[in-house]
A and B are shown apart, each in its own frame.
Chain A
Amino acid sequence: MEIIEKIKTNKSDDNLTEIQKICLHKLQSSPLPNPKSELWRLSNKSKFSNFLDYSFNEKDSKFDIPYPKKSQSTIRLIIGENCQIKLIEKNYSIQQLSEDELQKYIKEQISFFKQNENWSDLLNLSLSYKNNILGLKINGSKIPPIEIFSHASSNSLKAKTLVIFLEKNCNVELLQVNLGKENSSLSQSTFFCLKENSSVNHGVVSYGENRSNLLNSLNVIQQKNSAYNLGSLHFKFNYARFEISIQQSAGNAKTNIKGMQITKKDEQISTYTKIEFNGPNGFLDQINKSLADDKSHAIFEGSIIVPKIAQRTDASQLSRNLLLSNHAQIDTKPQLEIIADDVKCKHGATISQLNEEELFYMRTRGITLTEASKLQLSSYFQEIISFIPISKDKWDLLDKLLNEN
């Protein structure tokens, strides 16, 4: 109940938007997710309550981007700061969704919410308000890459919401960056709607600092012939959850997901994915990698749901995990739920440490152990990082991962 009180103390009932009221009402019946449910049972309870500890306020402190300066060709938006955009060019247009469109879409989404599966969204939508909600309608092709930032400043809990409509035949590259400052909590919910024949290369890079927390939820609806490519990377969070829900609403769509999470110290980072095929000829190729070191805990749970209507679905899911320390822990649970019979579905999971034979081979060639492990790690990381739509000279993620502690 505390969380509800927290929101209310900041605002009187009259100041709440309709969406906030609906979500608060839903949260009231069960204010916290059920710790026994599959999606929350492995979540570290004290870390989760730490997420909710920070005081919530709507105002953002000035955001100082520690990242490369915006280049000419990139469109950069910071949720909560410069959300105003209206670009109408020859080949493309990027406009903000009207208040009505935004309300209508979010309300529709809320009606499908389930208490445990969408708890993070309910929290996000009951907290986020006006400035912190960005809705975009993107149309056309040859659109310059878009970068969208969300951040939480120190000692606070922030909620940011992003809604994106990709119109028919639209084709875009979009990088989403979530930054957590020291001792902060960020709740980020993203809603994607891909219309027919549209395609997106979506990158999600979430990068925390000391003791920062993140609840990152991503809801994607794919219409016919759309292609959704997601490359994601989560690291340096005290506690982070990445919840992905993708629905191919009429099948005939393509989904590619390559995700990675890296945990060190006593961090806990988890990824939950749910991919539903509601029509025939769907395609999915998913790989999720985890690396757990020190006393950390990495979790992956992925479910693929293929109902009777989804004939000729081709879905594969792979969970690859590196466990590098005696005190670290990895949990993985790839699952398949299949009713259609004419399908090709497979999944696989492995947990191991760095391959000793490879290490030995490199050492016999005079490469030091540290260098050899670095080489192995970089090849492990590279598969995912190369899938994230970033310009390499601006964002040297690989270097960051290999050289930072």
Chain B
Amino acid sequence: MVNENLVKDVVKEPYKYGFVTDIETEKIEKGLNEDIIKLISQKKEEPKFLLDFRLKAFKKWQKMKEPNWAALGYKKIDYQDIIYYSAPKQKEKISSLDEVDPKLLETFDKLGIPLTEQKKLTNVAVDAVFDSVSIATTFREELAEHGVIFCSISEAVKNHADLIEKYLGTVVPASDNYFAALNSAVFSDGSFVYIPKGVTCPMDLSSYFRINSGDSGQFERTLIIAEESSSVSYLEGCTAPMFDTNTLHAAVVELIALDNASIKYSTVQNWYAGDEEGIGGIFNFVTKRGKCLGKRSKISWSQVETGSAITWKYPSCLLLGEESVGEFYSVALTNNLQQADTGTKMIHIGPKTKSTIVSKGISAGKSKNSYRGLVKMGTKATGSRNYSQCDSMLIGDQASANTFPYIKSQQPNSEIEHEASTCRISEDQLFYLQSRGIEFEEAVSMMVSGFCRDVFNQLPMEFAAEADKLLALKLEGSVG
């Protein structure tokens, strides 16, 4: 018989990224109106088209209602009580990493993010975003040699305005949903990636998002364009300090893959999740969508969601190009009073398109973990195929696991398969492992790791190790 308390102890683990960096920041006043948007745009010295884009989005946002269909319960967000721009004060222009405030470098060091020289061995280029601005992007020269553009979106607006104007908002239009409209109006920074024709990006690209202030929201925007026959693997990580207030994070990620291009987008989301009583934590409302425009293009999302008090996130693929492929691999772990409503949308538009969905949800404590997904076969999607698998694991009798798959088909020559199951950690398996001398805690950890294996296998190597560790940490506790 499994000792219930033991399992409960195992899932308790303090949040280790909860420190606050004491750094002078420049903030604008709270509230949201046209003047604030103009001010943000002015601070970022943006061209007119972008200001118009923001104002148009703001007008749309004002007419929209906050969605309430998700299986989430949270206190009403006061959008006028949020600071929409916050940046660490530093010298006007940074020409090299040496000029970055050492405190910031220290912060990212503490988070295990290599921004400085000695870490270059890892062969991952990093764009570090602190509150509303990008602090540094590493390996730029090396990338530039291959023609790859990897910079903050603010820089891209200045240096590659044509690309931004051409692609921004084409995958996630401002009117897409409430949070996308809000993001379009006030987005501060984020990453921009452009992979030219025929180039395989020589290293993994990575963005690291850090929220530092308790009263400012974070609204980053990421845009990745993979030209014909190019490929890139992009990693994203997030953390935030512990505050007893809720911080809003509303991001938009747009991916565009042209003929034969492939984009792999991996996320380890570990925002602060609030304490055991559910006080504090990040409200995470994210719109992520990729467009497989070209023939045989491929977009693959993999995510490990362990943080945030509220997660509302559905990385999606629009499969337009013939024989394009969409993939979604997700592990979502919720504990205490966390709530996650996450899943994906696979919209098959072009012929012979294929998609795979593998989602693993683990709910512990009093948390709520829902999978919500849509698979749609349009009338032209002949010979298309989808396979979905959603498994949930429950730890303790107060957590809940829900599955809401929406399946819609208008094409007889396509096939859709969906399966879902719910289980708990099997006593037999635990007993087996323990009888072989494996500690209870380690056994639970192994089982969870095994449960998530299908997804971890899809993560880039650096991340897979991190994700496994992260889950083990979250599930590690004071046993024995």
Interface residues of A (CB under 8 A from B): 308, 311, 321, 323-353
Q: Which residues of A contact B169 (CB under 8 A)?
A: none
Q: Is the CB of B399 within 8 A of A333?
A: no
B394 beta carbon closer than 8 Å to chain A: yes
Is the beta-carbon distance between B402 and A331 smaller than 8 angstroms? Answer: no
Residue in A339, A347, A350, A352 whose beta carbon sits within 8 Å of that of B403 in the complex: A347
User: Considering only CB atoms, which chain A residue lies closest to B409 in the complex?
Assistant: A351
A346 to B403, CA, bound (A): 10
Most buried by A among B377, B409, B415: B409
Would you give the shortest CB distance from A45 to chain B, in whole angstroms? 18
Confirm or deny: B420 has a beta carbon within 8 angstroms of a beta carbon on chain A: yes
Closest 3 CB pairs of A and B: A341-B394, A349-B418, A346-B421
Q: Report the Cα distance A334→B403, complex, angstroms.
A: 8
Q: A326-B379, A326-B412, A338-B392 are in contact. Are A333 and B422 (CB under 8 A)?
A: no
Complex formed: what's the CA distance from A337 to B413 in Å?
32
Contact A348 B409 (CB under 8 A): no
CB distance A348 to B407 under 8 Å? no
Closest to B420 in A: A347
Nearest chain-B residue to A336 (Cβ)?
Answer: B403
Q: A336-B392, A343-B394, A343-B424 known; 7 other A-B pairs, CB under 8 Å?
A: A329-B410, A337-B400, A338-B400, A340-B397, A344-B423, A347-B403, A351-B409
A104 to B148, CA, bound (A): 75
B416 touches A349 (CB 8 A): yes
Q: Which residues of chain B have C-beta atoms less than 8 A from A328's C-beta? A: 410, 412
- Identify which of A311, A325, A336 contacts B397 (C-beta below 8 A): A311
| Chain B nearest Cβ from A106, distance in angstroms | 32
B405 interface neighbour in A329, A338, A349, Cβ under 8 Å? A349
CA A321 to CA B416, docked complex, whole Å: 10
Q: How many whole Å from A385's CB to the nearest CB in chain B?
A: 23
Q: Which residue of B lies closest to A349 (CB)?
A: B418
- Whether B415 and A346, one on each chain, are in contact in the complex, defined by CB atoms closer than 8 angstroms, is no
Q: Is B396 an interface residue (CB 8 A)?
A: yes
Write the nearest CB–CB distance from A297 to chain B, whole angstroms: 10
Closest residue to A348 on the B side, CB-wise? B419
B412 touches A353 (CB 8 A): yes
**Is there an interface contact between B404 and A347, defined as CB atoms closer than 8 Å?**
no
A309 to chain B, nearest CB (A): 10
In the complex the two chains form, what is the Cα distance from A322 to B164 in whole Å? 44
B411/A323 in contact, CB under 8 A: yes
Give CA–CA (A332, B408) in the complex, Å.
Answer: 6
Chain B residues contacting A344 (CB-CB under 8 Å) are: 422-423
Chain A residues with CB under 8 Å of B415's CB are 350-352
Are the C-beta atoms of B401 and A346 separated by less than 8 Å?
A: no
Assuming the A-B contacts A311-B397, A350-B415, A350-B417, are A338 and B408 also in contact, with contact meaning beta carbons closer than 8 angstroms in the complex?
no
CB pairs A–B below 8 angstroms (24 shown)? A323-B412, A326-B411, A327-B410, A328-B412, A330-B407, A330-B408, A330-B409, A332-B407, A332-B408, A333-B407, A334-B418, A335-B404, A336-B403, A336-B422, A337-B400, A338-B392, A339-B399, A341-B394, A341-B397, A345-B422, A346-B419, A348-B419, A348-B420, A353-B412
**Residue B74 interfacial (CB < 8 Å):** no
CB nearest to A297 among chain B residues = B410
Give bound CA distance, A336 to B399, whole Å: 14
Is A325 a contact partner of B412 (Cβ separation < 8 A)? yes
Interface membership of B429, Cβ < 8 A:
no
Residue of B nearest to A331 (CB): B408
Asked whether, in the complex, the Cβ of B398 is within 8 Å of the Cβ of A333, the reply is no
Contact of B407 among A331, A345, A346 (CB under 8 A): A331
The distance in angstroms between the C-alpha atoms of A339 and B377, with both chains bound, is 32
Query: CA of A333 to CA of B376 in the docked complex: distance in angstroms?
Result: 12
Q: Which chain A positions have C-beta within 8 A of B418?
A: 334, 347-350
Contacts of B416 in A (CB 8 A): 349-352
Give Cα A247–Cα B203 distance, bound, in whole angstroms: 56
Bound complex: CA A348 to CA B390 (Å): 10
Pair B405/A308 contact, Cβ less than 8 Å: no
Query: What's the nearest-Cβ distance from chain B to residue A275, in Å?
Result: 14
Complex partner residue of A333 from B401, B405, B411, B417, CB under 8 angstroms: B405
Q: Is B195 an interface position by the 8 A CB rule?
A: no
With both chains docked as a complex, state the minimum distance between the C-beta of A206 and any C-beta of chain B, in angstroms: 24
B395 contacts partner chain A, Cβ-Cβ < 8 Å: yes
Cα A334 to Cα B399 with chains together (Å)? 21
Choose from B398, B411, B412, B420 the contact partner of A336 (Cβ within 8 Å). Answer: B420
CB of A333 within 8 A of CB of B404, answer yes
Q: Which residues of A contact B419 (CB under 8 A)?
A: 346-349
A321-B409, A326-B412, A341-B399 given; A346·B422 CB < 8 A = yes
The reply to whether B409 and A345 form a contact with Cβ atoms under 8 Å apart is: no
A residues in contact with B423, CB < 8 Å: 344
Most interface-central of A326, A331, A345, A351 (chain B CB within 10 A): A351
Please name all residues of chain A whose beta carbon is closer than 8 Å to the beta carbon of B396 when the two chains form the complex.
341
Q: Are A334 and B405 in contact (CB under 8 A)?
A: yes
Q: Which residues of B contact A329 (CB under 8 A)?
A: 408-410
**Measured CA separation A233–B279 after assembly (Å):** 51
**Chain B contacts with A in 115-138, Cβ cutoff 8 A:** none
